[in-house]
Amino acid sequence: MTIRIVRLGSPRESDEGLRIGTVRRPPRGVKKEEYASKNIYDVWFPNLSPSEALLKEASPQKDEKSWKAFKHKFMAEMKLPEARRILDLFAAL
């Protein structure tokens, strides 16, 4: 199973599969029923959201370089024990 990090609202890849929203708060102004159709996410799972510190540091991402830096730091957070256990569970499913 491949796990990718994508921006909310970015176009889906043809083979993407389930999009899990790992954001602390759902987007404002969008009905829950529209999340999937607007390429936001299919299921909300904030347990894997970026830390508050990372979000403050990275916001707003103005260009591709800052997005790549954010992804790199977020991947480092996903290697911490709690996140790793959750990802292992997803992989086992």
Tell whether the model's pLDDT for residue 64 goes beyond 70: yes
pLDDT tens digits for range 5-59: 888 888 998 888 889 998 888 889 999 999 999 999 999 999 999 999 998 887 7
In this prediction the pTM is: 0.71
Tell whether the model's pLDDT for residue 71 goes beyond 80: yes
Average pLDDT estimate for 60-69: 80
Q: Give one word for 9, left, alpha or beta, with left for phi > 0 and alpha for psi -120 to 50.
A: left
Helix (H) or strand (E) holding 44: strand 43-44
* Torsion, CA 38, CA 54, CA 63, CA 3, rounded to 10: -50
Tell whether the model's pLDDT for residue 60 goes beyond 80: no
* pLDDT score recorded for residue 1: 57
Tell whether the model's pLDDT for residue 67 goes beyond 60: yes
pLDDT tens digits for range 72-88: 999 999 999 999 999 89
